[in-house]
């Protein structure tokens, strides 16, 4: 992936999570409690799909590092998705 594509990809991910965070902070509008879980799952799912697209284009290994697996990427994606899911679940419980 060219450097420009790489930056565009992660800019999309950053905007996605920023909008999700803004929704958590300021989303006290109509239907907020009922749509919260759908929006949370959708955001996390889109994040995972974007990372899968990156892996499909670039492969599971990183040739610049001797063909090793992208362990750091896997770890960070796993941690991000897990923590986002846990935070969403915990926040959803406070809405009830």
Kindly report, residue by residue over 50-75, the tens digit of the pLDDT. 889 888 988 898 888 888 998 888 99
- Which domain covers residue 61, as residue numbers? 3-95
**Count of domains observed in the chain:** 1
Q: What average pLDDT does the segment 27-53 reach?
A: 75
| 24-51 exposure pattern, b = at least 16 Cβ within 10 A, e = fewer | eeeeeeeeeeeebeebbeebbeebeebb
pLDDT of residue 15: 74
pTM here is: 0.62
pLDDT of residue 6: 64
- The three-state DSSP-derived secondary structure of 28-94 is CCCCHHHHHHHHHHHHHHHHHHHHHHHHHHHCCEEHHHCCEECHHHHHHHHHHHHHHHHHHHHHHHH
């Amino acid at each position: 992936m060219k450097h420009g594509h790489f930056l565009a990809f992660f800019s999309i991910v950053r905007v996605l999570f920023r909008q999700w965070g803004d929704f958590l902070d300021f989303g006290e509008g109509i239907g907020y409690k009922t749509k919260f879980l759908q929006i949370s799952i959708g955001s996390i799912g889109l994040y995972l799909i974007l990372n899968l697209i990156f892996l499909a284009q670039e492969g599971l290994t990183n040739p610049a590092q001797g063909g090793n697996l992208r362990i750091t990427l896997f770890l960070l994606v796993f941690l991000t998705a897990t923590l986002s899911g846990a935070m969403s679940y915990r926040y959803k419980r406070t809405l009830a």
